[in-house]
Amino acid sequence: MKSFKTKLKVNNQQKKILDKHPGVARHDDNRGVVTCAKEYESTKKRPNAITLHKPLVAEVKSINPWYYEVSIGCAKGKP
């Protein structure tokens, strides 16, 4: 098996966006874990991705505009 190394050459603006990406993903994952735990305690069922994504768009993204500064694939409401 052969592997290739790839080095990205990014400018300062791209670097700033890349640095924010893990923070948004971590915030969304933590929010998803808390939401899943609360939902499971009350209904004994685990919520699906759509159930998690709707409150993310309605509540969290309006409070935290920095969610929109990174890629859409970063925070999709996944548990």
Segment 9-60, tens digit of pLDDT = 999 988 888 888 888 889 888 988 999 999 999 999 999 988 888 888 888 8
pTM of the predicted protein model = 0.68
Identify the pLDDT of residue 76: 52
Which secondary structure element, helix H or strand E, spans residue 52, and what is its range? helix 49-55
**CA dihedral sign of residues 30, 32, 38, 41:** negative
DSSP sequence for 10-39? --HHHHHHHHHHHHHHHHHHHHHHHHHHHH
Q: How many C-beta atoms surround the C-beta of residue 18 within 10 A? A: 13
User: What pLDDT does residue 78 have?
Assistant: 45
Backbone angles phi and psi of 45, in degrees to 5? -130, 150
Confidence at 72, pLDDT banded by 50, 70, 90 = low
